[in-house]
Structure 1
Amino acid sequence: MMKVAVIGANGKIGQHLVEQMQHAKTHEVIAVVRKEAQQKALQERGLTAKLADLEGPVSELKSLLKDVDAVVFTAGSGGNTGDDKTLLVDLDGAVKTIEAAEASGVKRFVMVSAWQSNNRENWAEDLRPYYAAKHYADRELMRSKLSWTIVRPGALTDEEATGKVVVGDSLAPGTVPREDVASVLRRCLDENGTEFRAFDLMAGESEVEQSLQSMKEMA
């Protein structure tokens, strides 16, 4: 059993992931949020919840991640903020978390990115600052000493999970329910062959576990 810190546990994907991990009981989950009210709500559900400001110093994140085995980074500035917050949270917040994880002895890091963030030619014109933030945060993670996985989901929906997805190095554009994204993140912690892999994720026809196992054949 690993001790897993979910950064951005109050986000839409983060909420699904924390709930799934609490139910599965395969790992000890630490829900990391920004506001005290969020922390209190999670604690009332019996979860370990800690506060962190991704715009704060790396030293605070380092203390937070002490004795943690794995990090899942699901945080984001959100669609209602400006490009400044995209830079400070989606890029610098992610990089500071990577630095803190390395300094704290964390071994595993799973990153939520965006479809084709690795391929500038496919960036959505109206989301270029967001895509640039994801691109360089992913690059810093790949340069780190951590055992990393980068999940690049398509357009996110709040539809009910189907449990069926498709993964690949370069998928056509599409959508995927946030709840299914959370399932993929959770399974990445356990599925051998997902380490040091970055992949697109969409709704598909295969079970999550089967899809992730198929990456071994793609390697």
Structure 2
Amino acid sequence: MQVLVAGATGRVGKAVIKRLVDEGYDVIAAARRENAVEVVDPEHVTVQHLDFHDSLAKIEDEIGHPDAVIFVAGSRGKDLLQTDLNGAVKLMKAAEANGVKRYVQLSSAFALDQDKWAEIPSLASIIDYDIAKYFSDEWLIHNTNLDYTIIQPGNLMEKPATGKTSFTPEGGENSIDDVAQVLVDSLKYDNTIHQVIIMHDGDTPIDEALSKVK
């Protein structure tokens, strides 16, 4: 199975690529700065240029025809409209145009619950980001026919993976490697299709948590 990772140079993107390779997938590592992509396994990782400022037609050419897409791209607040919002939508459209069905999107906790944003300090401080994620998730749910899974973690932390999680509607910290595992392993569970999963650190093994999503 070939999986395209959009946002291959970011913290989550790097972790996702490593997880995919470890799980035996072939990976298209897509990024605007190809020379910044860490090729962990040249036999199973192909680097591909992908710029969300490009036209939709060009993005269609850039992504090709993978079996699945994992969107983890982000501008860290510097290019929210072009990358986090419109770039995400362009990639959805390109995936559909190229016959891709499976699509996993990294979002943010409570992105679809605007009333929560003012209540949680970490969200209240990034309202523009929240808005971009809200409309990106809304588009994926209501304006595509993709077999999507949306992962909405709380704060992303550079700390050791636990292999465990909690899928409950609460805020909280997440190991980046645990988030990467949820993103990748959701591909194995068809019950996660058309689901929005809020996650944070917990005590349930990730595979068990994914198997119980409904």
TM-score by length of 1: 0.90
Judge conservation of contact 2:53–2:82 (CA < 8 Å) in 1. yes
Structure-2 change in CA distance of 1:115 and 1:172 (3 Å): same
The TM-score with structure 2 as length reference comes to 0.92
Give the secondary structure class of the aligned counterpart of 1:31.
Answer: strand
After the TM superposition, which residues 6-155 of structure 1 pair with which residues of structure 2 at under 5 Å, given as runs?
6-25=5-24, 27-39=25-37, 41-42=38-39, 45-46=42-43, 47-79=45-77, 81=78, 85-123=79-117, 124-143=123-142, 144-155=144-155
CA contact (8 A) 1:17 1:186 kept: yes
1:183 aligns to 2:177 (yes or no): no
Distance 1:54 1:211, change over 3 A: same
**Partners in 2 of 1:201 and 1:87 — Cα distance?**
25
Among the aligned pairs, what percent are the same residue? 32
- Secondary structure at the counterpart of residue 117 of structure 1: coil
Change (3 A) 1:141 1:70: same
Paired position in structure 1 for 2:172: 174
Secondary structure (helix, strand or coil) at the match of 1:114 reads coil
**TM-aligned CA deviation for residue 64 of structure 1:** 2.3
How much has 1:11 moved relative to structure 2?
A: 0.6
Query: Which of 27-36 and 8-17 deviates more?
Result: 27-36
Report how far residue 127 of structure 1 moved.
0.8
How many residues are aligned here?
207
- Stretches of structure 2 that go unaligned for 5 or more consecutive residues are 118-122
Shift of 1:44: 7.3
Distance 2:39 2:21 in 1: 11
- Give, in whole Å, the separation in 2 of the partners of 1:51 and 1:213: 34
Residues 43, 49 of structure 1: 8 Å contact kept: no
- Map of 1:194 onto structure 2: 192
Q: State the 1:67 CA deviation.
A: 2.1
The 3 A distance-change label for structure 1 pair 44 and 29 is: closer
Secondary structure, counterpart of 2:192 in structure 1: coil
Letter in 1 for 2:152: R
Deviation at 1:78, TM superposition (A): 1.2
Determine helix, strand or coil for the equivalent of 1:75.
coil
Shift of 1:57: 0.9
**SS of the residue aligned with 2:125?**
helix
Q: Deviations over 1:111-155 (max 9, x none)?
A: 000000010011222211100000000011112011001000001
Identify if the C-alpha distance between structure 1 residues 100 and 206 changes in structure 2 by more than 3 Å, giving closer, same or farther.
same
Would you say 1:208 and 2:202 are equivalent positions? no
- How far is 1:45 from its partner? 4.3
Kindly tell me: are residues 204 and 100 of structure 1, through their superposed partners in 2, closer, same or farther at Cα, counting changes over 3 Å? Answer: same
Tell me, in whole angstroms, the C-alpha distance in 1 between the residues paired with 2:162 and 2:40: 29
